[in-house]
Chains A and B, each alone.
Chain A
Amino acid sequence: MKLEPAGAGVLVVRPGMLTTIQDAGRWGVQARGVPVAGPMDPVSHRLANALVRNSPQAAALEITLLGPELEFDDERVVAVTGAQFDLSLDGRAMPSNAPFIVSAGARLRFGARRAGARAYLAIGGGIAVPPTLGSRATHLISAMGGLHGRALAAGDVLPLGQANDVYGAVSLPQSAVVALPDRHAQVRVLPGPQTEYFASDALAVLQSAPYTIAQNSDRMGFRLAGPPLSHVRGADIISDATPLGVLQVPASGEPILLMADRQTAGGYPKIATVIAADIPVVGQLGPGDTISFSVCTLREAMAALIAQERTLMAVEAGHL
């Protein structure tokens, strides 16, 4: 797939609440303090690209809570995955989780949101903004990547790559799509990397009741209100790396779940890490939603990830 701008573009008529350009993330430069960014629900992002036969790394739109209205310069295959929105193309209802053709001059509108928090719109050929440090992912705090490092605004024009002629005339089976949470998700964690900083019952407390995602949560992380976790060695550590999905716990005892736009390092102890296979469902939660944690084994975490990968690879190969 080529990603040189092909001259054609997409006009942003209305940007939605928070619509950003995301590829698979800016890996390899965290040692220089550069955050990874990338999609909050990486599985839905990959599925959207697969449906239009883009590479899994292609840049697509992440659409948050309130969707955009877009006008296309030329004919393109598109697909929407993740959060369920009422989609219309020049007034005609369109399906999610299936590719469809948008003709030149047509307007794609995201209407009411039915479930989930973040939808992904992939466009055949990908969004061809210039990469920064090897990635097109938007990181909002450092104003890097995407379109001028920010969320889309009305009047923006998104450059598109060279479109592929082929696309899979398929829709995704229900088993392949991310199960959208009904404002509550149960997710699995692996203990660590700093469980020894916490009281011996802290992991039990973490699993004892749901936590509510605070209003001031964003792509960096979800602040969680719920049973506080007790430290036994203070709430400060010498700053170290902060993986995706880790639960860091400041002095208040209420954890912060670090997500796509997290900083590369942080100074709070981390009690547990959400398994990779459950990150997509976390990415479908928003402020006010609740989340419950349960400790699992490494074997379970790997089994879940392998099952998820099998499905993704089958979709990418056109077998589903």
Chain B
Amino acid sequence: MSSHYRIVPAGESALIVEFEERIDPVVNATTIGCANAIQAAAIPGVRDVVPTYRSVAIYFDPLRTDTDALLERITHEAESAGPGAVVPGEPVRIPVCYGGDLGPDLPQVAAFAKMSEDDVVRLHGSTTYRVFMLGFVPGFAYLGMVDPRIAMPRRATPRVRVPCGSVGIAGVQTGIYPAETPGGWQLIGRTPVRPFDPLRADPFLMKAGDAVQFYAIDRAEFDRLQRDPNLAGRQPGGADAGEAS
């Protein structure tokens, strides 16, 4: 199938394939399918292929790349990209201890949604999210779409330090902080799972296109899992579940 796209240069060492300018699961699936196909082509000189919400950046060494052949290949992959190329595997399941000191913004989100904290937790856990892209810091996945009733905007003043593992909401996006960083998302809970651990066999818990679900655990379970060195948050089906091609 053919999709709407254009290819623009960013300097002499990168080409960007842009699909439709909106945050949309179908556009994103097309984008990731295109990125996977370009990655799989293993074109000599290409250094990195980076999918985002609706674009794919192809970084290459222009002195060691046949740029005409590269452009031709990228055009072909963009032309034939469609949302069906990537079939998500089993969802990555993330345990979350909601509320209390681990989720200090849960009361505000409940007030925003005009519902109980329990209902916020239930709604956050009842959606199967899509990893639209990774960015911000290593292993940070932008997940969507959050139920519009609990889609509270970012805090007016970001926190200087958000603890590692914090689960937050920012409008229709949700995500897990993989490291202690500054951050403005509404924190509703925390997971003992590490989205990124460079020493783990697969350092990354998620990749673009994965399906993700959250489920509630209590504080005792959170503490137990945090002490358990084997809890690497392995996703069922192995690291490559859901990879196209």
Contact = CB atoms under 8 A, between A and B. Distances in A.
A276 B13 contact: yes
B53 A240 contact: yes
Contact of A265 (B8, B135, B207): B135
Q: How many B residues are at the interface, by size bracket?
A: 35 or more
Contact of A243 (B49, B59, B133, B134): B59
A239 B139 contact: no
A86 interface: no
A238 B14 contact: no
A74 interface: no
A31 B47 contact: no
A275 B134 CA distance: 26
Contacts of B63: 305-306, 309
Interface string B16-57: 101001110000000000010000000000011111111101
Contacts of A133: 198, 203
A193 B134 contact: no
A27 B48 contact: yes
Contact of B11 (A28, A32, A245, A306): A245
A265 B141 CA distance: 12
Contacts of A305: 12, 62-63
Contact of B50 (A30, A144, A301): A30
Contacts of A263: 135-137
A276 B136 contact: no
Most chain-A Cβ atoms within 10 A of its Cβ — which of B134, B138, B198? B138
B47 A301 contact: no
B151 interface: no
Contacts, number: 129
Contact of A241 (B16, B196, B198): B16
Most chain-B Cβ atoms within 10 A of its Cβ — which of A33, A194, A244, A273? A33
A301 B55 CA distance: 24
A142 B203 CA distance: 14
Interface in A139-157: 141-144
Given A143-B179, A265-B135, A276-B62, A239 B12 contact: no
Interface in B189-241: 196, 198, 203-204, 207-208
Nearest to A141: B137
A144 B196 CA distance: 12
A30 B136 CA distance: 10
Contact of A190 (B9, B55, B141): B9
B140 interface: yes
Contacts of B49: 31
A182 B140 CA distance: 40
Contacts of B71: none
A33 B138 contact: yes
A31 B207 contact: yes
Nearest to B138: A34
A31 B12 contact: no
B123 interface: no
B135 A193 contact: no
B78 to A, nearest CB: 15
Contact of A31 (B10, B21, B48): B48
28 contacts: A31-B48, A31-B134, A32-B138, A32-B139, A32-B203, A33-B137, A133-B198, A141-B137, A141-B181, A142-B137, A190-B12, A192-B8, A192-B9, A193-B8, A193-B16, A238-B53, A239-B52, A240-B54, A241-B10, A241-B16, A241-B50, A265-B135, A273-B11, A274-B11, A275-B11, A275-B12, A305-B12, A305-B62
Interface of A: 27-36, 132-133, 141-144, 190, 192-194, 238-241, 243-246, 263-265, 270, 273-276, 298, 301-302, 305-306, 309
Given A240-B18, A244-B13, 7 more contacts: A31-B49, A31-B208, A35-B138, A238-B21, A243-B57, A265-B52, A298-B12
Which 9 A/B pairs are nearest by Cβ-Cβ distance? A241-B57, A273-B11, A33-B134, A265-B135, A193-B10, A34-B138, A30-B50, A240-B55, A240-B52
